[in-house]
Structure 1
Amino acid sequence: MEFILIIASLLLSYILIQVVFGIGNTKNLPPPGPTRLPIIGNLHLLGNQPHRAITKLAEIHGPIMSLKLGQITTLVVSSSTAAKEVLQKQDVSFSGRYPPDAFNACNHAQHSVVWLPPSNDWRTLRRLLNSNIFSHKSLETNQHLRRQKIEELVAYCQKASLSNDYVDIGHAAFRTSLNLLSNTVFSKDLTEPYKDSGSDLKDAIGMCMVEGAKPNLVDFFPVFKMIDPQGIRRRMARHLETLLKAFENLIDERLKMGRIMQNDVLDVCLKFNQDNPNEINHTHIKSLVMDIFGGGTDTTSSTIEWAMAEVLRNPHIMTKAKEELEDVIGKGKIVKEEDVLRLPYLSCIIKETLRLHPPGAFLLPRRVEKQAQLNGYIISKGTQVLVNIWAIGRDPIVWDNPLEFKPERFLNSEVDVRGQDFDLLPFGSGR
């Protein structure tokens, strides 16, 4: 009897210690999340609008939430405070990449600055982009190209107006962005009829965006990677092969010239390759060009389309924008780049559009490189990380009347979209 009492006392002591220890360390655990089903985990909760479903789940389980999406453990961050921790304060631990399977087609993810984890190749490509392509000097040099393409877009809209025809804003903006980038990179239009492959290239870029955005079973169950059950990687490979072959032909054409001719992005890349042959090769250059087209076409056209939809839905905003343009620029005159700083209300419209309608609901998925702690929670190595910028832009704690399209909220505000203000992150931040 005495032995049983001793055992019972020890068990009771152990339970009390565990309870006390648990109360004092409630966060030394994985983040909370909804109950998981066998095999599929939480996939059944996503529905056909995952960003909305995940935002609602975060309202229940908190801004740092764990989901099991098939076989993939996923951390979802839905507040600006947690996003700053992931993207800035602990960006080394959270700087890995988790490329969707579609972008493994043609080994694109293995050479893309978008999908490479921080490494020597990644640092070289970033240095090339920041110092030689997106530098202030380079942007100034190519300003005339941007002006020319905007004038062509305005002329197209005017012609449609005179003939009482409609303008497909998304299509027109996509075409303008594509030609602008192709002139910046290759000094050529990709959509001009005199280019034999122009239409094919435009369609291939568009289809890459479509395939890359599709829900893919392989991204949730990597065990199916070999068979590619939906055929997404196979179709992506066909479109990428069309683009990469065209880029290779343009590189060969430029090399046959024997010297720098156009002072465009391709020349910059080839010159860098000549000076640093061990750092980048033609495969890197082709993937870099693909990244530029992927990042600057559909994102731009969708933002313009949303901005137009919102100002048409809010006539008082349209009136204020037109009044500002007429007062600052003059009625009927085309806005130049140097004019933008004198158009604060127009800038507010763009910021408000990016707040409510970011180009993507989530930033590109990241991967935890080593076990980390986030707000006290343990985040395991290999976890996929999704930053829900759609939810952050609509957070009622941060934004007054968050569902209202109200550009005035940015007047006299220092909040910008360049990645330093974590309440507004349409293009991400950090590494």
Structure 2
Amino acid sequence: MTIEAELRDEFDRWENAGNTILKVLPYPLLAVGVVITLLQPLGDEPVRLITVLGLSVTAGLWLLWFHTLHPEWHGHRPLMGFYYTGLAVQTASLVAIAPWYGFFAFAGYPQAFQYLHGRWRYAGAAATAMISAAAFLGGVPGISAENLWGAWLAVGAISVVLAGAVFYFTEMAGHRHDMQRQALVALHEANRKLETALAENAGLHAQLMVQAREAGVLDERQRMARELHDTLAQSLAGILTQLQAAEQTIDEPAKLRRHMTNAMNLTRESLAEARQTVHAVQPTVLAEARLPDAITDIAQRWSEVNGIAATLTTTGDARPMHPDVEVTLLRTAQEALANVAKHSRAQRVSLTLSYMADLVTLDVLDDGVGFDPDARRARGSRNGGFGLAGMRQRVQRLAGRLEIESEPGGGAVISATVPAIPAGGAD
């Protein structure tokens, strides 16, 4: 259960408990007044039993009808104002006869707060305070006997001030409670919308990955078709030509030997090209090592061949990624190093592989002569090979981005960023 749900449940428990107390409180207070009054010894002015019981029954029925049996009336302000006025009159009558009904008078405070609004709420509290003050001084007989009307007004005034202060702070607490509930409702709605958005984003991301993979498969097929046409098909055609020529020169050993040698050389070249093509489809280096180790191995062999220092730094939590992610970053590293060897005349190359929560980034920095990225992009693929355009296409197939920063004489930085799709994800 979330903290939000726990707070909401806590608010609901307190509110339900408070409503239950307010619903049943007047009845035990009325019963206490009746019992204590009837247990009092009769004095010079005995309690009028029939009047007390009649008023008590009337007050109880009044409460039962308006307060308990018809909760749908509680929102009707004029009707509940009439109800509270009748309750206050009956309570005042009971207190006037028997001051022990001051216990029952106390119920007027929560009743006023529940059913009255605005200034009428404070008027109800003032009326209840004056009735309670009369009960405190012994009711009307006690006040009249000792002429305590001034004291009654003083005690009543103090009670009115205290009741008004309590009502004010209770209203402020109620406002804060309402604001907290509204904030919880708004938070719940925001969380619901966020969960919906996250679910939609997850679905869109999965759909995007499927589309990206389908597009990548199509692009790879087209690339393979071009490579087969430009390499293996042409080599096989050359081999066939040499064999046909050899067939026509069987009687001429020197020419036959030359055509057969050419055919064997073309066969060797075709075999090497076929192996390179297979290697391009599924790099064996990734099958034998993790991506950081594979890039390190490529960088070391490249450095030995080209005489340029190349080092790899890995940051973050290096973990297995989806094969498409690892192949893309590996090919980007290979092509970036190939470009450095062909064009940059660099002395040092730094590669940084960064694993983040949602992204994986490969940065390739060299201290070479640099170039104008806009001019290189305008030339497109005329330089041959995979090239920068090819790197960008690979990265974009995975909904990633390729950024190039360079200027003539200032070296170059190539940064490839792709989603950190874990191994086994987006399949």
TM-score bracket for the superposition, by shorter chain length: under 0.3
Judging by fraction of residues, say which structure has more helix. Answer: 2
Q: How does the TM-score come out when normalised to structure 2?
A: 0.26
- The structure, 1 or 2, with the larger RCO (C-alpha pairs under 8 Å, 6+ apart) is 1
Q: Is the radius of gyration larger for structure 1 or structure 2?
A: 2
Q: How does the TM-score come out when normalised to structure 1?
A: 0.25
